[in-house]
């Protein structure tokens, strides 16, 4: 089953909707962004999430922050996972006390070998988020990269695809390339805010793709 991460959550209502729909990860942005929240806001959000027996993992998104501050925020805000979306190296990753989602930004000239070298430098056991490089941005640009490069990445890696995903195209991605997970933010927004209808449509498209893949697998037995 494809894991789903909805990133850039800023309010309790959207977090509650994501929980009801069975999202696997909720992303809270602590880096510079229009979706940025304060640790105090994060505590309010996580307090709601933690009351549920079956809940999504809470991912905190950071960019080039000190490891000490990341670890402190993770503890104070009850984060399950840390997403590093900046230029953090392997030594830095080793100082983080939570499991890591490591973002790798690629452009149209990036080769699979180059991407795998970057992944190896930060830890092959982590979740690896592949996103489109956008000048002046560390993610959340809503730009899609060439998915064909996914064919040449090791199937043993936990690859989470981000960048330009929408309810209209995520099914195609899953059916063709079978990523470990998908990450969406702007693709489920309207006028800069999370749109419940788009979130539901996105999750429905992911589940439909998973059902089709399961049907193909069962038919081949």
Residue 93 known to be catalytic: no
Instruction: Report the alpha-carbon distance of residue 85 to residue 68 in Å, rounded.
Output: 16
Instruction: Report the alpha-carbon distance of residue 37 to residue 51 in Å, rounded.
Output: 20
Largest CA distance in the chain: 52
CB 171 within 8 A of CB 210: no
Catalytic residue from among 18, 24, 77, 131: 131
**Per CATH, domain 3-220 is 2.30.30.240:** no
CB 138 within 8 A of CB 63: yes
pLDDT of residue 147: 92
Alpha carbon separation from 120 to 82, 104, 116, 124 (Å, rounded): 18, 11, 6, 5
DSSP letters, 11-49, are SHHHHHHHHHTT-SEEEEE-SSSTTB--HHHHHHHHHHH
Residue 7 known to be catalytic: yes
Q: Which residues of the chain fall short of a pLDDT of 50?
A: none
CA 25 to chain centre: 7
Catalytic residue from among 7, 18, 24, 126: 7
pLDDT of residue 155: 84
């Amino acid at each position: 089953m494809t894991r789903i991460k909805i990133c850039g959550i800023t309010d309790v209502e959207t977090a509650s909707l994501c929980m009801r729909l069975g999202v696997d990860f909720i992303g809270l942005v602590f880096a510079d962004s229009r979706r940025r929240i304060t640790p105090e806001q994060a505590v309010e959000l996580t307090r709601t999430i933690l009351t549920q027996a079956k809940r999504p993992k809470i991912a905190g998104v950071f960019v080039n922050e000190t490891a000490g501050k990341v670890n402190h925020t993770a503890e104070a805000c009850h984060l399950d996972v840390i997403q590093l979306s900046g230029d953090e190296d392997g030594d830095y990753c080793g100082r983080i006390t939570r499991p890591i989602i490591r973002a790798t930004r690629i452009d149209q000239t990036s080769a699979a070998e180059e991407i795998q070298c970057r992944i190896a430098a930060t830890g092959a056991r982590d979740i690896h988020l592949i996103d489109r490089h956008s000048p002046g941005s560390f993610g959340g640009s809503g730009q899609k990269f060439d998915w064909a490069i996914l064919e040449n990445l090791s199937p043993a890696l936990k690859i989470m695809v981000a960048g330009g995903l929408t309810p209209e195209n995520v099914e195609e991605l899953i059916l063709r390339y079978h990523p470990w997970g998908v990450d969406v933010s702007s693709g489920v927004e309207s006028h800069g805010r999370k749109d419940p209808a788009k979130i539901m449509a996105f999750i429905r498209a992911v589940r439909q793709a998973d059902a089709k893949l399961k049907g193909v697998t069962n038919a081949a037995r």
